[in-house]
Amino acid sequence: MKLVNKIITGVAGMAMLASGALAEDLTIVHGSVGRDQEVLRRQLDTFEAETGNTVTIVSMPESTSDQFGQYRLWLAAQSSDIDVYRMDVIWAPQMASHFIDLNPLVADIIGDFVPAAVESQTVDGKLVALPLFLGAPALYYRADLLEKYGESVPTTWQEMTDTAQLIMDGEHAAGNTGMYGFVFQGAAYEGLTCNAQEWINSSGGGRIVELDGSIEINNPNAAAALTLAASWVGGISPEGVLNYKEEDARGVFQSGNSVFMRNWNYAYALAAGEDSPVRDLFAVTTLPSGGEGTSSAATLGGWNLGVSRYSEHQEAAVELVRFLTNYENQKERAIVTSRPPTLTAVYDDVEVAEQQAFIPLWKPVVDNALPRPSAATLRSYNEVSSAFWTAVHNTMSGQGTAEENLAQLEQELTRLRGARW
């Protein structure tokens, strides 16, 4: 049997050689949240069948900060083991030198992509990665519970806090003691940077680093936003929220144990899935703001595909990147995982609208999403973000007040700016 297989493979191999196309073994490194990898594997199977190449997935931990650490090691070692990297929207300025310039290789299709997504991956004119999907978070809420308690959908953080507390107390009194008010990403990692940037920016506290590189983060509005957030821990949010990443928050909300949740778009398809206990009970709205004179802020997220400079299969790797971002595959990804596409036309697709109404509904939020300061801080972004999430995490775990931690953060950011960016 084995021999027969070998002969058949040999014949197929010769046919490919004759046609000039050599089968190649590619490797893609890819983080895993929700159903991302299930859809990826299915699409890779099609790519393999169409091209004769094989593609192996190297799976990464959920935390984008852990992925960043691992990628840096591979890239610094100029490893040829990985051909395609799935990269967070914030990494392009820091990692640009390790990737090939995709511009000349996608010139025929780049005009179809959302311009802001392309811009986020362009560093000094070089296209570091091709946008795969975008992200802009929502406030998920239990519509049934708001109705039960006669509460309206909150538009400010204070209203959300009060409503969460009221419903939580009511549910506890009725014996539903597992109920919490609000879950989000509170662990000390990049996810907390995204959450806290939203609390602060939507409360009139500005950006972590302003667009012109100035540092205004040590201000009363930012302090007030962090003080309110610190009050959630052990109150409307479980103590454990300080260790929560995306999937921890989703687990609590989807099992019916939280009134509100801040999460990315992928959670929508899963919470609305057939096996979800809350499938007919929840809805989404934009994240709250600080009230008068302020407006909601949703951090811009998303992932992109870059081809390593050290890859020995660059041509096939580019083909793979183009394949995974093509219309059909983006459409499938939008429908199955509710990830916002990077091709403008997919937002207008009738079947997408029918099967995943969240996508067209969320287009304006995606369009107006707030970037993190990775362009302003260049090679220092990871250190800037880590200083920021540390200040926030310390405040929320009772190590110093918001004012103290923001004053220290200001000094740390000033030092980083002086040293490098």
Contacts with ligand GLC by CB under 6 A lie at: 64, 88-90, 135, 190-191, 194, 264, 301-303
- Least CB distance to ligand GLC at residue 108 (A): 27
Residue among 117 and 409 whose Cβ is closer to ligand GLC: 117
Place of tokens 């972590």: 208
- Least CB distance to ligand GLC at residue 310 (A): 24
Residue among 34 and 154 whose Cβ is closer to ligand GLC: 34
Residue among 96 and 188 whose Cβ is closer to ligand GLC: 188
- Least CB distance to ligand GLC at residue 68 (A): 9
Residue among 93 and 204 whose Cβ is closer to ligand GLC: 93
Residue among 58 and 370 whose Cβ is closer to ligand GLC: 370
How far is Cα of residue 7 from the mean position of the Cα atoms in its chain?
46
Residue among 90 and 406 whose Cβ is closer to ligand GLC: 90
- Least CB distance to ligand GLC at residue 389 (A): 10
- Least CB distance to ligand GLC at residue 302 (A): 5
The residue number with the shortest CB distance to ligand GLC is: 301
- Least CB distance to ligand GLC at residue 385 (A): 9
Query: Between 220-232 and 190-201, two packed helices, what is the crossing angle to 10 degrees?
Result: 120
